Amino acid sequence: MKVRTLIIGAGAGASYFLVGLERARETGDLTGVPLARHLKYYRPEDIEVIGLVDVEVTKVGSTARSIASKLVPGVDPPKDLDGLVVQRGLHCGSLKGLPVKAMGLEEVLGSVQEAFDQFIALLDELRPDVVVNAITTEPLRYAETEEEFASKASSCQGGATMAYAYAVAEHSRRSGRHVAFINLTPPPIANSPGVVSYYARIGSLVLGDDAATGATPLTADILEHMAERERRVLSIAQFNIGGNSDFLSLVEPERNYSKEITKGAMVKDILGYDAPHYIKPTGYLEPLGDRKFVAMHIEYEGFGGFRDEIAVSARINDKSNLAGLIASVIPVAKGLVDRGISGTHATANRFFMKLPGPKDLRITSKIVAYYDLLEELRRLDLAT
Amino acid sequence: MKVRTLIIGAGAGASYFLVGLERARETGDLTGVPLARHLKYYRPEDIEVIGLVDVEVTKVGSTARSIASKLVPGVDPPKDLDGLVVQRGLHCGSLKGLPVKAMGLEEVLGSVQEAFDQFIALLDELRPDVVVNAITTEPLRYAETEEEFASKASSCQGGATMAYAYAVAEHSRRSGRHVAFINLTPPPIANSPGVVSYYARIGSLVLGDDAATGATPLTADILEHMAERERRVLSIAQFNIGGNSDFLSLVEPERNYSKEITKGAMVKDILGYDAPHYIKPTGYLEPLGDRKFVAMHIEYEGFGGFRDEIAVSARINDKSNLAGLIASVIPVAKGLVDRGISGTHATANRFFMKLPGPKDLRITSKIVAYYDLLEELRRLDLAT
Amino acid sequence: MKVRTLIIGAGAGASYFLVGLERARETGDLTGVPLARHLKYYRPEDIEVIGLVDVEVTKVGSTARSIASKLVPGVDPPKDLDGLVVQRGLHCGSLKGLPVKAMGLEEVLGSVQEAFDQFIALLDELRPDVVVNAITTEPLRYAETEEEFASKASSCQGGATMAYAYAVAEHSRRSGRHVAFINLTPPPIANSPGVVSYYARIGSLVLGDDAATGATPLTADILEHMAERERRVLSIAQFNIGGNSDFLSLVEPERNYSKEITKGAMVKDILGYDAPHYIKPTGYLEPLGDRKFVAMHIEYEGFGGFRDEIAVSARINDKSNLAGLIASVIPVAKGLVDRGISGTHATANRFFMKLPGPKDLRITSKIVAYYDLLEELRRLDLAT
Amino acid sequence: MKVRTLIIGAGAGASYFLVGLERARETGDLTGVPLARHLKYYRPEDIEVIGLVDVEVTKVGSTARSIASKLVPGVDPPKDLDGLVVQRGLHCGSLKGLPVKAMGLEEVLGSVQEAFDQFIALLDELRPDVVVNAITTEPLRYAETEEEFASKASSCQGGATMAYAYAVAEHSRRSGRHVAFINLTPPPIANSPGVVSYYARIGSLVLGDDAATGATPLTADILEHMAERERRVLSIAQFNIGGNSDFLSLVEPERNYSKEITKGAMVKDILGYDAPHYIKPTGYLEPLGDRKFVAMHIEYEGFGGFRDEIAVSARINDKSNLAGLIASVIPVAKGLVDRGISGTHATANRFFMKLPGPKDLRITSKIVAYYDLLEELRRLDLAT
């Protein structure tokens, strides 16, 4: 059974995903898709991408194939992607300050209200089961109540991510279709109580926030390893440097900030105390491209007061990571919606996200989250 | 309630443990003791070391304090350790070929039979609840049946580890006391069906084999991290170099071999396939002492066929690790015996050991083993 | 023959130096002092510290010993340091914005002019051969001409480093004594043409700028290694994180900036082209103390277009490094002055400094600089 | 002016070299060729490969192109290499014990004497200026005197490397042509006094031994960096693991041994004392291919007794390294012969080789060797 999927943000993550999905279909190779061997009913192969949305002027109207040919190195994208043309979405200032030219529906139409109407009409036409938000990282804005969500989102003042979440909710509410909105970016959607309760009320689901890619999941699991041995972690330093637009956009402190709070909560929740840490995307170095360089250093004390140290140097393709995660979270989300789950789903968020909602949820290591999720999916007859 | 504990092998592991245990008692600081915050009824603080056994001529008759002052760097061992004098044990050729002079009871008495009698008499007198085997790594020798165990062990042909396991079993059988024998070294005790069934029959317990210290538990958990993301691990290299007698003894290929098979099983069981790997203690470099240097390199493929790499450089004090593990496994073992568990205990072995018995047991990552063990201990009302 | 030395800045660098110098005198061990085995006439052991200057209110009036006991971990500072009491120097706003309370002579006396008079009187009394500037990193300010130097410095508008350079020059000019002023901090002194020509005119010498400690000298030599093999360096990332006040002060972008330009010039001068690089002090993590963590990643192309990568993880005590460098540069500077060298000395600067003066000097790798300096010192009969 | 070059050993090193040389000729890009920008008269582009020799049965009679297509990954070898067909050389047991089938001239002809005659006849026909020995690492065998050289070599008892050196010398002696024999493998040729004096007598030149590729040159330069700062190196560990036939052959202890002595001399000569070290090719891991993984750990003491540590993780393509070195040493050797230099040449050996001859030559760091060689080449008008 197909999972009709709309992707918002025609960037590298979406491109790696689209190219990799075709490759996976052809070869049957699901390497890099978490849970792939366990999923049933809905599986990665069932994903059908029915739409792609962006606001960059160079992308709107282009095919997924031409975009992928620029963003996915060393790959000749499949011809099928010629049929997927980028449609214009909502801007809400999300790319302000970055060196790209953007034009959202509200800018073309001259009216935010009309922009929402038109975007919801697009949703009505596409009838997605799952909407994946993979736009550029925006500054953080919360919605405590449903009213705040509706008013901030519908006026574009909550940013593009919130606007899309709202449009999808409106489509769901009006049509009675239950939809999953998956927020892979840091702005709080699953962490906004107003969004979660709105979605709960209409029988739809948000998963989020901030897809757990890169080195942070590994750091989480290394910290779990320390915690289980009751080691006292004295300091944690983790640097990231990359050469794609993510790192370029993080040079703006406001966008970077949203990355920081995620890590502090992780350290405290897994270790049980707030070990001194410095975990941040650090810089931009163009030749690295999507294969970022990560350096980590952890010093800790063991039994008898002796000190050990671990240093990690890694080269990690964040976009390949993200694409594999997308291929897993889409069928999971569709399955959860089918089983009647609405609002948000802490267990799925804990595994797939860096800042799992709902708000103030205790973070666990990824290994723990994985087994909790697998058990839950088995209980729901969604996994073997 | 005290846990009467006999330690076999007055080496660095035992010394770090004895020094650290006193320190933990004084300060209440159980840093580095796995599960410490959860254990109840029997806790690390309840361990009472009632005897220490070795066969090196320079150690027999010495106090634990004088030995610790040589083996634990930068520490003034507590005065209490003056009261713990090393008693002579069984040699059975365990130190043959190494540059130390050893003399076991059988060599002093001129008779293996008398040596066993005398050692069992010592056990009768000490009445240990737990016996910890921490002698130098011996070559591997199995016992498929109880008869093979009895005959190989009682003739010293199974090596010292097997001989001690047998003496403890004999003490248990004759006295009716239920004892835990914890084998922290690679020779197969919990992996010898003959030993396990012998212990099961007399209501006693063996845990083993090969204490999970050093970098291998971390490697296990990193591999788990990869497996959950369905990454295809292309190669694993792990080097270890250290400056203590463990590394000196591993220069003998026969002793090193026992370390190798452990790692191959781990890779296959956790990943689900036998990824090409080279995981071995590699060399001896005296100035490193107990703080060994570990280098690891893992290359893997993610979604879409992209390759990532992780390199780890670590400085790890194996002996501090081992000592913390000893402080945890002793109360666990005592608790299991009290709850009527005999033979061996796969769940405890999986967490504490590198080659967990019984034979052909599937290895799991350490994080998985940890939660399984914690659940089991809670079920038995041994942990909170 | 003694080398009368005044140290400005009673921080960790000075403290490590003072403690280490006493230790070296006692033990005869000159480990960590570059060129130590070669120096003659003036040697590290000949250094006599005759004064110590600072402006922090908690330091002025304290003894070098009490300061060292706080700043040099794990060491009981020698009693001799009780005799060295911190005297008040010039502030010129150098600590503005940092979380310390400072009060310079100009603030106590209410007059910049009187402050200079009093500080020059101190120099007249102390009669130093060498003055070492080791204060906290200030923002950069140049002096193109002698007039600019004199006017900026004497009004405090050039910052404290320039003010001290000027006071020393005035002392030299008036007394006719030839003095060496060694600037270990980034602000341009040896790189300020106005300062160099002023010093040249009065027969005195400045060496600078920015002591070559930490990982940067190693990076320079690794780049030299690449350049000699005609490898094409594709990217260089170098992160530093530490827990002392240097890293705290670098959080201010203006101070950090002075560190950046140094590295860009190094890359270009050694490789012959400006390879993309990110080389910066990155963050503050208190528990690291003086032992900072450094991570480096270099990717390059070799013959036939194949790509290699090198990652370095290091733990480096910058302050021990700096202290050893101070112990070497002082006798070198004194020897150069004795041989009639004035203005500045490119060859010495190239080895000891990160941004060697005079202005626009081509940077070399450290290994090349070392041999050039050794040859020069031999020519001047200052080294064996 | 062409440099007529014969290559012995049609392995990966030769293949990378041949492919890279064509590429360099086409693109003009000499990246990865040491000294490339400085060489004059004879330059990398002037190399003309006139013959290729091997004894593996699958290689003799094959074209360089078909061999390169198997050994150089990701490259379509140039068509020109179709014209270069592997000719049969001398075996002398050099591949004994390795899993390849070999058949040398002496085995085909049934006579060692005839084999030499035929091989010398080949040299007479090809008239090489330079012969490059790049065969698989053999066990070490010395020749103290010219007589020992002649007798061991001509009977095949000195191994293949010595046999080739002898055949080239005989060709040179009989024809009066001055030839350079470059030994890139560990067996002592430039380190055998008998070989060097034989070559000196006939006006020809040997360079050797053991091409300085991989991580060891970098280690040498890092040690130089330490030595200049008078740091006391406490321990050095360096591991190598690779997936090509070099690593496979080093599993034989006799072949590995020849690698070890090289490193010990290096440590002592550069540091001035024999710091404890473990520097060895460590293992074979097939998926790594030519891109070996190198891990290094250096601990040292600096000023005041503080300890620092450096860990390096590198991925290095040894064969690309070697190929670039070959492209540099050939024109250098030809130039030296032209300038009348015979016997061996310490300065060239120090830069290009791991165990530079003549025997007992003091090793220097590579950076020092580089500048010494450049100066010498300039003096001889061979470099700019």
pLDDT at position C296, please? 95
pLDDT at position C251, please? 61
B309/D315 Cβ within 8 A: yes
Domains in chain A (CATH in brackets) are 3-211+320-379 (3.40.50.720), 216-316 (3.30.360.10)
* Cβ contacts of A377-384, under 8 Å, gap ≥ 24: A377/A35, A377/A38, A377/A39, A377/A332, A377/A335, A380/A335, A380/A336, A380/A339, A381/A40, A381/A41, A382/A39, A382/A40, A382/A41, A382/A42, A382/A332, A382/A335, A382/A336, A382/A339, A383/A35, A383/A38, A383/A39, A383/A40, A384/A38, A384/A40
Cα D64 to the center of its chain, rounded Å: 19
Confidence band for C260, pLDDT divided at 50, 70 and 90 = low
Cβ neighbours of D384 (radius 10 Å):
10
DSSP B11: S
How many angstroms separate the CA atoms of A38 and A377, rounded? 9
Nearby residues of A353 by Cβ (< 8 Å), 6 or more positions away: A190, A207, A208, A209, A210, A211, A212
- Tell me the chain C residues in contact with residue D368 when contact means C-beta distances shorter than 8 Å: 367, 371
pLDDT at position B74, please? 87
Q: What are the strands, taking DSSP E only, across A47-183?
A: 47-54, 86-88, 130-133, 180-183
Q: Do the Cβ atoms of C178 and C205 come closer than 8 Å?
A: yes
- Closest partner residue to C368 (CB to CB) among D16, D303, D371 is D371
Average pLDDT, chain C: 94
pLDDT at position D258, please? 56
| pLDDT over 90 at B378, yes or no | yes
Nearby residues of C271 by Cβ (< 8 Å), 6 or more positions away: C223, C226, C227, C233
Question: Residue A212 is encoded by which pair of tokens?
Answer: 């757990």
B310/A218 Cβ within 8 A: yes
Of the candidate ranges A31-40, B138-147, D254-263, the one whose mean pLDDT is the lowest = D254-263
pLDDT tens digits, C48-104: 999 999 999 999 999 999 999 999 998 899 999 999 999 999 999 999 888 899 999
The alpha-carbon gap from D30 to the nearest alpha carbon of chain C, in Å, equals 7
Nearest CA in chain C to D324: C303
Region A273-279: mean pLDDT is 94
- Tell me the chain B residues in contact with residue A313 when contact means C-beta distances shorter than 8 Å: 310-313
Average pLDDT, chain B: 94
The alpha-carbon gap from A248 to the nearest alpha carbon of chain C, in Å, equals 13
Using a CB–CB cut-off of 8 Å, the residues of C that contact A are: 234-235, 237, 239, 241, 243, 276-278, 280, 282-288, 293, 295, 297, 299, 309, 311, 313, 315
Region B237-263: mean pLDDT is 73
Nearest to A348 by CA among A271, A331, B167, D124: A331
Residue owning tokens 């005044």 = C6
D221/C16 Cβ within 8 A: no
More confident residue, C265 or A14: A14
- Closest partner residue to B317 (CB to CB) among A230, A302, A317 is A302
Burial A340-358 (b: 16+ CB within 10 A, else e): ebbbbbbbbbbbbbbbbbb
- Closest partner residue to B31 (CB to CB) among A231, A323, A366 is A231
pLDDT tens digits, D93-104: 999 888 899 999
- Tell me the chain C residues in contact with residue D72 when contact means C-beta distances shorter than 8 Å: 304
DSSP line for D260-311: HHHHHHHHHHHHSS---EEEEEEEE-GGGTTEEEEEEEEEEE-GGG-EEEEE
pLDDT at position C180, please? 98
- Tell me the chain A residues in contact with residue C309 when contact means C-beta distances shorter than 8 Å: 315
Confidence band for A219, pLDDT divided at 50, 70 and 90 = very high
CA atoms within 13 A on the CB side of C167: 34
DSSP D189: S
Of the candidate ranges A360-364, B15-19, B197-201, B320-324, the one whose mean pLDDT is the lowest = A360-364
Region A48-71: mean pLDDT is 97
* Gyration radius (Cα) of chain B, Å: 20
Q: Do the Cβ atoms of A326 and A130 come closer than 8 Å?
A: no
Nearest to C180 by CA among C347, C334, C329, C382: C334
D278/B284 Cβ within 8 A: yes
Region D138-149: mean pLDDT is 94
- Tell me the chain C residues in contact with residue A243 when contact means C-beta distances shorter than 8 Å: 235
3-state class of C190 per DSSP?
coil
- Tell me the chain D residues in contact with residue B309 when contact means C-beta distances shorter than 8 Å: 315
Element (H, E) at B310: strand B307-317
- Closest partner residue to D297 (CB to CB) among B280, B311, B313 is B313
pLDDT at position A235, please? 97
pLDDT at position C255, please? 59
A32/B231 Cβ within 8 A: yes
pLDDT at position A252, please? 62
Q: What residue type is C301 in one-letter code? A: E
Of the candidate ranges B173-177, B379-383, D261-265, the one whose mean pLDDT is the lowest = D261-265
pLDDT at position D247, please? 80
- Closest partner residue to B324 (CB to CB) among A303, A309, A371 is A303
Q: Do the Cβ atoms of D326 and D376 come closer than 8 Å?
A: no
More confident residue, A264 or A378: A378
How many angstroms separate the CA atoms of D105 and D88, rounded? 6
Q: Are strands D3-8 and D130-133 parallel, antiparallel or unpaired?
A: parallel
Burial A63-92 (b: 16+ CB within 10 A, else e): bbbebbbebbeebebbeebeebbbbbbbbb
pLDDT tens digits, C360-381: 999 999 999 999 999 999 999 9
pLDDT tens digits, A63-122: 999 999 999 998 899 999 999 999 999 999 999 888 899 999 999 999 999 999 999 999
**Residue to test with chain B: of A303, A317, A364, most B Cβ within 10 A:** A303
**Residue to test with chain A: of C256, C273, C278, most A Cβ within 10 A:** C278
- Closest partner residue to D313 (CB to CB) among B276, B285, B295 is B295
How many angstroms separate the CA atoms of A383 and A43, rounded? 10
3-state class of C107 per DSSP?
helix
CA quadruple C124, C127, C131, C136: dihedral sign: negative
Question: Residue B280 is encoded by which pair of tokens?
Answer: 């071995």
DSSP C171: H
Nearest to D229 by CA among C224, C33, C21, C43: C33
DSSP C237: E
| pLDDT over 80 at D255, yes or no | no
B308/A317 Cβ within 8 A: yes
B293/D313 Cβ within 8 A: no
Nearest to A235 by CA among A217, A223, A253: A223
Element (H, E) at A367: helix A366-379
Q: Are strands D232-242 and D291-301 parallel, antiparallel or unpaired?
A: antiparallel
Nearest CA in chain D to C225: D367
| pLDDT over 70 at C254, yes or no | no
A222/B310 Cβ within 8 A: no
pLDDT at position D252, please? 62
The arrangement of strands across the sheet holding B130-133 comes to B86-88, B47-54, B3-8, B130-133, B180-183, B205-207, B343-344
More confident residue, A57 or B256: A57
* Gyration radius (Cα) of chain D, Å: 20
- Tell me the chain B residues in contact with residue D287 when contact means C-beta distances shorter than 8 Å: 234-235, 276, 299
How many angstroms separate the CA atoms of D363 and D374, rounded? 17
pLDDT at position A280, please? 83
Q: Do the Cβ atoms of C156 and C207 come closer than 8 Å?
A: no
D283/B280 Cβ within 8 A: yes
D310/C224 Cβ within 8 A: no
Confidence band for C341, pLDDT divided at 50, 70 and 90 = very high
How many angstroms separate the CA atoms of D149 and D147, rounded? 5
Residue owning tokens 């840490």 = A277
Q: Which chains touch D (3 or more CB pairs under 8 A)?
A: B, C
| pLDDT over 90 at D230, yes or no | yes
Q: Tell me how far CA of residue B271 lies from CA of B349, B378, C115, C332, in angstroms.
A: 20, 29, 72, 60
Q: What residue type is C243 in one-letter code? A: G
- Closest partner residue to A218 (CB to CB) among B225, B304, B371 is B225
DSSP C185: S
Confidence band for C256, pLDDT divided at 50, 70 and 90 = low
A309/C315 Cβ within 8 A: yes
| pLDDT over 90 at A317, yes or no | yes
pLDDT at position C57, please? 97
User: What is the percentage of chain B residues whose pLDDT exceeds 70?
Assistant: 97
Region A156-168: mean pLDDT is 97
- Closest partner residue to B225 (CB to CB) among A229, A323, A367 is A367
Average pLDDT, chain D: 94
| pLDDT over 70 at B259, yes or no | no
Burial class, C360, CB count within 10 angstroms (exposed 0-12 / middle 13-18 / buried 19+): exposed
pLDDT at position B253, please? 60
Nearest to A21 by CA among A3, A33, A11, A9: A33
> At CA D137, angle to CA D132 and CA D142, rounded to 5?
85
- Phi, psi of D294, deg, nearest 5: -120, 135
Q: Which chains touch A (3 or more CB pairs under 8 A)?
A: B, C
Confidence band for A265, pLDDT divided at 50, 70 and 90 = confident
Question: Residue D188 is encoded by which pair of tokens?
Answer: 């002592």
- Closest partner residue to C230 (CB to CB) among D36, D217, D316 is D36
Question: Residue D365 is encoded by which pair of tokens?
Answer: 């760091």
